[in-house]
């Protein structure tokens, strides 16, 4: 098996980076008109900046109002908007679902695509993978595109104004990167580029975890104060770039499969992707029989920034036996990333690991008086 690594063509991050959109597009040879796919909040915060930046670059644009779910229907609507506008490139602005949908439309039209995350809540902006949901928020599967984004532009001024919960959720998503990468390397699993992991990808995944542990709490406090600090810049880079390259070029395993399982029960639909992945990471460590010292290290980090470590933390404190089996069966489907664990995982094994992880998390919270 050949080794393979995927990454965006260009990554730009920093204070007021949105003002550089026109210059960056021009530098990449991307001309208008362009279609911007954006939710209400990104549009409210950035419409004037986009207008000024793109006008200075002589690039015409229109905005498609994102519908809220990265569904096949929404991707189809974006495709139609792009055709109507005569778009020569698509820009996604917002959270992970908006960016995934924008990339899905660009793939279908063979157009350049730019990702402008306005929250650092997932590692999707840099990847060539999109998670496809139903219109009511249940994971249906994923699509792997032919190429990574042409540009990822992260404005940390906008990120710093978002609720801290989003940054923390991004840390939950990024938390899984090293542990899933390590598992995939151990089991010689294919990464998402259908190759073996490079040492570069593993080093990036490990740096992602180290950055979270060193800077996560300080970055959360910076966002709570709406302040841009070096710690915030490092954690945003970890959430978006390091985790994005790390997961795509090393692979996913139990933590993300468990997330997908939990989307099958409606109790979790009000929780962020990274919040569910965070608990999934704890379950993965229990499932793999990870030494307690490492489990404690993860618990220390997760509880310090406020990531969920129990079923109740993702709305599932009173799941029935039937609902728990629905979760476990969805997570252990043959077409999901549970297959990358170095041993077969049955629904019954996973239920035991979920219960044990929940007990560990509850004990930790009780010790802390929470």
What is the set of active-site residues? 173, 256, 259, 273
CB 122 within 8 Å of CB 274: yes
Strand ranges in the chain using DSSP code E only, listed in sequence order: 11-14, 34-38, 61-65, 89-94, 113-117, 129-133, 139-144, 151-155
Concatenating the DSSP letter of every residue in 218-273 gives HHHHHHHTT---HHHHHHHHIIIIIHHHHHHHH---HHHHHHHHHTTSGGGTTS-H
Provide the 8-state DSSP code for 19: G
What's 28-50 look like in SS3?
CCCCCCEEEEECHHHHHHHHHHH
In the three-class reduction of DSSP (H, G, I as helix; E, B as strand; rest coil), residue 278 is classed as helix
C-alpha 318/C-alpha 302 separation (Å) is 22
Mention every residue, 6+ apart, whose C-beta is less than 8 A from residue 306.
168, 220
């Amino acid at each position: 098996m050949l080794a393979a690594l995927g990454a965006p063509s260009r990554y730009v991050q920093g204070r007021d980076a949105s003002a550089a959109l026109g210059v960056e597009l021009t530098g990449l040879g991307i001309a208008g008109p362009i279609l911007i796919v954006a939710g209400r909040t990104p549009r409210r915060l950035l419409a004037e900046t986009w207008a000024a930046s793109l006008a200075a670059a002589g690039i015409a644009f229109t905005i498609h109002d994102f519908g809220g779910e990265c569904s096949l229907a929404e991707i189809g609507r974006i495709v139609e908007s792009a055709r109507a506008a005569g778009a020569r490139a698509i820009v996604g602005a917002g959270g992970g679902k908006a960016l995934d949908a924008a990339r899905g439309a660009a793939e279908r039209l063979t157009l350049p695509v730019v990702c402008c995350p306005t929250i650092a809540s997932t590692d999707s902006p840099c990847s060539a993978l999109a998670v496809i949901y139903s219109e009511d928020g249940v994971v249906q599967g994923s699509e792997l595109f032919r190429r990574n984004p042409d540009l990822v532009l992260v404005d940390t001024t906008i990120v710093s104004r978002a609720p801290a919960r989003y940054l923390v959720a991004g840390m939950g998503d990024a938390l899984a990167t090293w542990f899933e990468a390590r598992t995939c390397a151990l089991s010689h699993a294919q990464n998402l580029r259908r190759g073996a992991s490079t040492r570069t990808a593993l080093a990036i995944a490990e740096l992602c975890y180290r950055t979270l542990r060193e800077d996560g709490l300080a970055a959360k406090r910076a966002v709570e104060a709406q302040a841009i600090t070096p710690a915030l810049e490092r954690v945003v880079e970890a959430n978006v770039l390091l985790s994005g390259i790390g997961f795509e070029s090393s692979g996913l395993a139990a933590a993300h499969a468990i997330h997908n399982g939990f989307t099958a029960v409606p109790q979790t639909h009000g929780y962020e992707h990274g919040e569910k992945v965070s608990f999934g990471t704890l379950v993965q460590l229990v499932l793999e029989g990870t030494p307690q010292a490492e489990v404690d290290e993860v618990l220390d980090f997760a509880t310090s920034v406020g990531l969920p470590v129990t079923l109740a933390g993702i709305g599932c404190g009173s799941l029935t036996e039937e609902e728990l089996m629905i979760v476990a069966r969805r997570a252990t489907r043959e077409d999901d990333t549970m297959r990358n664990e170095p041993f077969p995982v049955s629904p019954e094994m996973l239920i035991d690991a979920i219960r044990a992880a929940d007990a560990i998390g509850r004990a930790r919270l009780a010790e802390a008086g929470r």
